[in-house]
Amino acid sequence: MRTSCYPLATLKETPADAEIVSHQLMMRAGLIRKLGSGLYTWMPTGLRVLNKVARIVREEMNKAGAIEILMPSVQPAELWQESNRWDEYGPHLLKMKDRHERDFCYGPTHEEVVTDLMRRELHSYKQLPLNVYQVQTKFRDEVRPRFGVMRAREFLMKDAYSFDLDEIGMQKAYDKMFQAYTNIFTRLGLKFRPVLADTGSIGGSYSHEFQVLADSGEDLIAYSDDSDYTANIELAEAQVPQGRRPTPGKVKELVDTPTQTSIADVAAFLKVEPKQCLKTLIVVGVGKECPLIALVLRGDHELNTVKAEKLPGVAIPLQLADAETIKRHIGCEPGFIGPLNLDGRGIPVIADRDAAHMADFVCGANENGKHLRHVNWQRDCAEPTRVADIRNVVVGDISPDGQGHLQLTRGIEVGHIFQLGDKYSKAMNATVLGESGQPVTLQMGCYGIGVSRIVGAAIEQNHDEYGIIWPDAMAPFDVALVPINLHRSDLVKKATEELYAELTAMGLDVLYDDRQERPGVMFADMELIGIPHRIVIGERSLAEGKFEYKNRHTGETKNVTKSEIKDLLQQ
């Protein structure tokens, strides 16, 4: 490709609304342009990268035995009503009506469509196992799109769906996909980890996320420093504290805390550690019998909303009660709540394992401006209605597998695989006849990869002050040719044209910068775009029959012959 006939679309300045480095560089390198919130056009260079990622994904999916199909992006409401997700999926679902006032949605995922397809197509166990996939545009109406293509509303996704007769088959299909995903992210040249994950609104029983490690990632990952254990913090289990609960010491005491409403303030005021305080959160419950539920944590711990939403009786999505409701039921402001006598007021107390293990703690007195200290479960306050793991793990916690301690790191979720079981096949009555002649409900798995998100994630992991540094596998071009004084030197022109023709004939993607630009401009653009190999063609080195090679990744420069160039590029 010659730059004189190609819209490079590079920018010298960073657009004001690009916050993280990958978004800034994708704009500056001319990969994307924004159309609206969460909507991006892929420019020629960006599309090249996207297609390279998609190609690797397809190759590995095919190798794992999956078959490519393409389903509609617009889906009839009836299917979503069958699975109950028309309402459950919530406002993320972009709904629309056609001219006949029939309801449709733009697909955020395709479990319903593929299940419907397969209940029509599959009749016999002999047709199993089957795994179909597609690479397609999805739309999720995110509350807050951000970070460019990283959390866009419209995005490109590879989604695969496996169908098996039983759980053993489903497990095998899952394992195959786990391996395929590992191959894909390895080939793409990304630093990643598979992590145990929550299943979220897709549902199902068991799942892994594939996380690209990056400090700008939105997800927190917990991993053991002494074993293979790795899990999303949403799921990572906090262990039961060791030993017996300490025996109560001093007598309970009411203390004035006129303006101290946060754990930090109360702890500082009473000269105790936050871990000696008890934090009481009031959340909305389902049903009339218990409209409110108290969640109790150690002062230095954070509530894990995913875990909390799994508690029976807790409303989904998790919702903190407003100040007025709290005042009406408990009689104080949110900053002074404690677990005492809540059960008696019809508010069950669910304590975190660590909170339930505390003794002589500080907590709110359910009275404005007052806290209690030296409070003890049982002696001063009814034992919690229920004890559960409802907190986020913290650095240093014992690993759930018993080996080592947990550390935390950040990641970008680029893949997610689920064992769905019969969640959709049962709701939508997708069965085949088994060997015995009886209908068997299909066991499903689903497997997603955020193709467009991978592009952003790769840049987060691979860039420097000059621009993007693509892993070879997804670079838009393999090599950039930068001629010096192309338009004045016949020698340079001839050498560059020949080299361009020969490298192109080798099947390489070559970007030939034949613009009438100064060298500095061309160097800067090629580095910004992140092309792995750069060859400068100038009279200076041509005099010795050499070209100047520079590696974008290592920064290494050397003068080389044409055949050495070919060797370098063929690796």
Residues near RNA (CB under 7 A) are 10-17, 19, 28, 34, 36-38, 92, 108-109, 140, 142-147, 151, 155, 198, 200-202, 218, 305-306, 309, 316-318, 412-414, 416, 448, 450, 453, 466, 484-485, 518-521, 523-525, 527-528, 536, 538-541, 548, 550
Nearest to 214 by CA among 470, 46, 468, 458: 458
Residue 524 CB, nearest approach to RNA (Å): 3
Residue 45 CB, nearest approach to RNA (Å): 14
In the chain, the N- to C-terminal Cα span, in Å, equals: 21
Residue whose pair of structure tokens reads 């002062």 in the numeric block? 299
Residue 151 CB, nearest approach to RNA (Å): 7
Residue 519 CB, nearest approach to RNA (Å): 4
Whether the bond into 258 is cis, omega within 30 of 0: no
Structure tokens at 252: 């309970």
Structure tokens at 66: 């999956």
Q: Residue 279 or residue 371: which is nearer to RNA going by CB?
A: 279
Q: Residue 157 or residue 372: which is nearer to RNA going by CB?
A: 157
| Number of Cβ within a 10 Å radius of residue 526 | 27
Taking the C-alpha atoms of residue 493 and residue 495, their distance in angstroms, rounded to an integer, is: 6
Residue 35 CB, nearest approach to RNA (Å): 8
Asked if 258 contacts 271 with a C-beta cutoff of 8 angstroms, the reply is: no
Nearest to 16 by CA among 28, 31, 1, 2: 28
Residue 538 CB, nearest approach to RNA (Å): 2
Q: Residue 173 or residue 482: which is nearer to RNA going by CB?
A: 482
Residue 101 CB, nearest approach to RNA (Å): 23
Nearest to 393 by CA among 489, 307, 301, 485: 301
For 518, counting Cβ atoms within 10 Å of its Cβ (0-12 exposed, 13-18 middle, 19+ buried), the class is exposed
DSSP-derived letter for residue 430 is: -
Asked if 511 contacts 531 with a C-beta cutoff of 8 angstroms, the reply is: yes
Instruction: Enumerate the β-bridge partners of residue 208.
Output: 196, 417
Nearest to 323 by CA among 281, 287, 362, 365: 281
Q: Residue 360 or residue 539: which is nearer to RNA going by CB?
A: 539
Q: Residue 4 or residue 186: which is nearer to RNA going by CB?
A: 4
Instruction: Enumerate the β-bridge partners of residue 299.
Output: none
Q: Residue 146 or residue 252: which is nearer to RNA going by CB?
A: 146
Q: Residue 10 or residue 280: which is nearer to RNA going by CB?
A: 10
Residue 439 CB, nearest approach to RNA (Å): 30
Q: Residue 79 or residue 381: which is nearer to RNA going by CB?
A: 79
Residue 152 CB, nearest approach to RNA (Å): 9
Q: Residue 142 or residue 367: which is nearer to RNA going by CB?
A: 142
Q: Residue 122 or residue 414: which is nearer to RNA going by CB?
A: 414
CA-CA-CA-CA torsion sign (118, 122, 123, 124):
negative
Whether the bond into 129 is cis, omega within 30 of 0: yes
Asked if 290 contacts 344 with a C-beta cutoff of 8 angstroms, the reply is: no
Q: Residue 421 or residue 448: which is nearer to RNA going by CB?
A: 448
What is the number of alpha carbons within 13 Å of residue 31 lying toward its C-beta? 30
Residue 127 CB, nearest approach to RNA (Å): 28
Asked if 221 contacts 409 with a C-beta cutoff of 8 angstroms, the reply is: yes
Residue 325 CB, nearest approach to RNA (Å): 15
For 470, counting Cβ atoms within 10 Å of its Cβ (0-12 exposed, 13-18 middle, 19+ buried), the class is buried
